[in-house]
């Protein structure tokens, strides 16, 4: 049995620790009335926080005099402030002694109930900062082009007859700024070749060479351009750029690289979108959520248009890894093609260049968690049904003709009635 003085000493120490321990401290009520950052908040931060979390030192990777740092959080990965939710904010939990980690500040005078109440009110009112402080906090990574709002720009004025449209005006202004002169206009076959290569990716045909000899005539020029744009080949040419961007392939990739028989609906959707001059915002929306807004369901094929590992394993961990790779592929292509951002780095850590947190990455991944690789029926309209019936009838005729040349006694192969036609060994 311990001596009585030992028990008294132990109890005294425990009571002292409990009295000083803020883990179960009650959160003071928010201050009443509006809060001014310069007058009310900055003095508190300067007095208690900036020595360890200021411009010279950032313990745990956190700087409290920067709005972006508090929203992003430090090394823990948890935001220090939840806007309009002071009771859920890590900063408030730490300074009030309600966090399991050591209370802040760890040394020196603790924040009073009034000071904590002012910070709570500041957060609950929207976490407002004066523009002078926000200017210092401006993240240079947000200056990249994909974050800038669209603006209407007036073409530079010019008296030159070389500029025939607003695009020419921009080009001419840039050339003149570099003290350069425009190249001589293309004429005859050279101009025709440029137009056909740009719009269709093909040199002009003999018929086009005969028909469009005088392209200096505006009427002939416009007639040629309209004809090229109206052709289905225009969409086939320019859809390739988008299909490359979203890593479209007609095989699965990996070691088996099997043919993907039902990749064509998405390919045709993109071709038709270019040929029908589909608005860009609608083009993107239909691909992200076409099945939810009543659009062409083939549009969502971009999500699974990339490589797919069809060789599954009995190893549960390997299967889970394959699934994560599939989701990562969807997130990556969505970021690069639709957002102009490289999201893939944030799979393992908060991005070092783009303002993307690891938390953001997995929030985006959750959006696609229900998407799986597979085949589904594509609705066929009346026109497609008629074409299909015509094609099937023609296939039947060709089969009948082909059977006349196949003799079981002279070949080891037989014709199989499937679609598409195929020969199999017998």
pLDDT for the residue numbered 403 = 85
Residue 45 has which token pair?
Answer: 């931060």
The tens digit of pLDDT for each residue in 208-226 reads 888 888 887 888 888 899 9
CB-based contacts of 212: which residues, under 8 Å, 6+ apart?
192, 204, 220, 223, 224
pLDDT for the residue numbered 99 = 62
Task: Classify residue 158: in a domain, yes or no.
Answer: no
Query: Taking residues 109-133, what's their average pLDDT?
Result: 91
Whether residue 340 sits in one domain with residue 398: no
Whether residue 124 sits in one domain with residue 61: yes
CB-based contacts of 278: which residues, under 8 Å, 6+ apart?
272
Task: Classify residue 162: in a domain, yes or no.
Answer: no
Whether residue 351 sits in one domain with residue 280: yes
pLDDT for the residue numbered 23 = 41
State the Cα–Cα distance between residues 387 and 382, nearest whole angstrom: 9
Q: Which domain holds residue 190?
A: 184-230
Whether residue 116 sits in one domain with residue 58: yes
In sequence order, which ranges of 290-349 are alpha helices (DSSP H)?
316-334
Please determine, for residue 415, whether its predicted confidence score (pLDDT) is greater than 60: no
Please determine, for residue 368, whether its predicted confidence score (pLDDT) is greater than 60: yes
Residue 364 has which token pair?
Answer: 């985006």
Domain end point (choices 140, 163, 197)? 140
In sequence order, which ranges of 106-165 are alpha helices (DSSP H)?
113-124, 131-136
**Pairs from 422-426 (Cβ < 8 Å, separation ≥ 24):** none
Whether residue 132 sits in one domain with residue 94: yes
The tens digit of pLDDT for each residue in 263-318 reads 888 999 999 999 999 999 999 999 988 878 877 778 888 888 888 888 888 898 99
Task: Classify residue 4: in a domain, yes or no.
Answer: no
pLDDT above 70 as % of the chain? 87
CB-based contacts of 73: which residues, under 8 Å, 6+ apart?
62, 79, 80, 90
State the Cα–Cα distance between residues 420 and 409, nearest whole angstrom: 25
Please determine, for residue 4, whether its predicted confidence score (pLDDT) is greater than 60: no
Query: Taking residues 122-133, what's their average pLDDT?
Result: 90
pLDDT for the residue numbered 231 = 94
Task: Classify residue 240: in a domain, yes or no.
Answer: yes
CB-based contacts of 204: which residues, under 8 Å, 6+ apart?
189, 192, 193, 196, 212
Distances (CA, A) of 186 to 183, 189, 192, 226, 308: 9, 9, 9, 19, 46
Q: Which residue has the higher pLDDT, 7 or 220?
A: 220
pLDDT for the residue numbered 419 = 52
Task: Classify residue 128: in a domain, yes or no.
Answer: yes
Single out the residue of 178, 153, 149, 155 nearest to residue 167, CA to CA.
155
pLDDT for the residue numbered 292 = 82
The tens digit of pLDDT for each residue in 379-388 reads 777 888 899 8
Count Cβ neighbours within 10 Å for each residue of 254-269 and write b for 16 or more, e otherwise: eeeeeebeebeebbbb
Burial of 59 (0-12, 13-18, 19+ CB in 10 A): middle
Whether residue 132 sits in one domain with residue 22: yes
pLDDT for the residue numbered 2 = 47
Q: Are 118 and 35 in contact (CB under 8 A)?
A: yes
The tens digit of pLDDT for each residue in 134-177 reads 878 876 667 777 777 788 889 999 989 899 899 999 999 999 99
pLDDT for the residue numbered 15 = 43
Single out the residue of 136, 42, 135, 120 nearest to residue 81, CA to CA.
120
State the Cα–Cα distance between residues 343 and 240, nearest whole angstrom: 23
- How many other β-carbons are positioned within 10 Å of the β-carbon of residue 153? 8
User: What is the separation of C-alpha 267 from the centre of its chain, rounded to a whole number of angstroms?
Assistant: 20
Whether residue 114 sits in one domain with residue 222: no
Task: Classify residue 327: in a domain, yes or no.
Answer: yes
Whole-model pTM? 0.62
Whether residue 222 sits in one domain with residue 252: no
Whether residue 335 sits in one domain with residue 251: yes
How does the average pLDDT of the chain come out, rounded?
84
Q: Which residue has the higher pLDDT, 395 or 406?
A: 395
Query: Taking residues 346-368, what's their average pLDDT?
Result: 87
Single out the residue of 66, 65, 61 nearest to residue 49, CA to CA.
65
Task: Classify residue 374: in a domain, yes or no.
Answer: no
The tens digit of pLDDT for each residue in 11-43 reads 444 444 444 444 445 678 888 888 999 999 999
State the Cα–Cα distance between residues 243 and 89, nearest whole angstrom: 44
Task: Classify residue 275: in a domain, yes or no.
Answer: yes
pLDDT for the residue numbered 186 = 86
DSSP string, 153-216: -PPPP---TT--SHHHHHHHHHHHHTT--PPPPP-HHHHHHHHHHHHHSSPPPHHHHHH-S-TT
User: In total, how many domains does the chain have?
Assistant: 4
State the Cα–Cα distance between residues 67 and 80, nearest whole angstrom: 10
| Report for 81-90, 97-106, 300-309: range of highest mean pLDDT | 81-90
The tens digit of pLDDT for each residue in 59-75 reads 988 999 889 889 988 88
Whether residue 396 sits in one domain with residue 315: no
Please determine, for residue 354, whether its predicted confidence score (pLDDT) is greater than 80: no
**For the chain, first and last CA: distance in Å?**
94
Please determine, for residue 422, whether its predicted confidence score (pLDDT) is greater than 60: no
Whether residue 279 sits in one domain with residue 316: yes
- Look at residue 416 and give its three-state secondary structure: strand
Whether residue 125 sits in one domain with residue 92: yes
User: What is the separation of C-alpha 211 from the centre of its chain, rounded to a whole number of angstroms?
Assistant: 46
């Amino acid at each position: 049995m311990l001596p009585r003085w030992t028990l008294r000493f132990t109890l005294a120490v425990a009571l002292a620790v409990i009295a000083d321990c803020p883990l179960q401290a009650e959160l003071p009520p928010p201050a009443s009335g509006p809060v001014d950052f310069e007058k009310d908040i900055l003095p508190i931060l300067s007095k208690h926080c900036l020595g360890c979390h200021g411009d010279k030192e950032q313990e745990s990777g956190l700087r409290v005099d920067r709005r972006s740092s508090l929203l992003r959080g430090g090394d823990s990965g948890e935001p220090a402030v939840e806007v309009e939710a002071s009771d859920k904010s890590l900063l408030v939990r730490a300074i009030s002694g309600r966090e399991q980690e050591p209370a802040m500040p760890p040394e020196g005078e603790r924040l009073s109930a009034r000071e904590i109440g002012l910070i709570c009110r500041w957060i609950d009112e929207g976490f407002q900062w004066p523009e002078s402080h926000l200017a210092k906090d401006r993240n240079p990574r947000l200056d990249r082009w994909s974050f800038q709002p669209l603006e209407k720009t007036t073409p530079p004025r010019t008296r030159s007859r070389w500029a025939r449209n607003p695009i020419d005006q921009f080009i001419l202004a840039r050339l003149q700024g570099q003290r350069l002169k425009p190249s001589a206009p293309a004429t005859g076959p050279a101009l025709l070749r440029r137009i056909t290569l740009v719009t269709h990716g093909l040199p002009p045909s003999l018929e086009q060479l005969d028909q469009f000899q005088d392209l200096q005539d505006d009427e002939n020029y416009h007639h040629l351009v309209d004809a090229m744009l109206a052709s289905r080949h225009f969409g086939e040419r320019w859809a390739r750029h988008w299909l490359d961007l979203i890593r479209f392939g007609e095989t699965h990739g990996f070691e088996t690289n099997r043919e993907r028989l039902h990749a064509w609906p998405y390919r045709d959707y993109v071709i038709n979108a270019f040929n029908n001059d589909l608005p860009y915002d609608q083009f993107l929306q239909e691909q992200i959520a076409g099945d939810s807004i009543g659009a062409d369901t083939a549009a969502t094929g971009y999500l699974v248009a990339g490589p797919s590992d069809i060789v599954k394993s009995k190893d549960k961990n390997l299967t889970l890894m394959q699934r994560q790779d599939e989701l990562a592929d969807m997130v990556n292509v969505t970021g690069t093609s639709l957002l102009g951002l490289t999201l893939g780095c944030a799979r393992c850590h908060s991005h070092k260049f783009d303002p993307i947190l690891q938390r953001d990455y997995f929030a985006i991944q959750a959006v696609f968690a229900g998407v799986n690789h597979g085949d589904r029926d594509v609705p066929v309209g009346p026109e497609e049904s008629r074409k299909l019936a015509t094609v099937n009838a023609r296939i039947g005729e060709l089969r009948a003709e082909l059977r006349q040349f196949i003799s079981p006694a002279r070949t080891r192969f037989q014709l199989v009635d499937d679609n598409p036609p195929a020969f199999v060994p017998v």
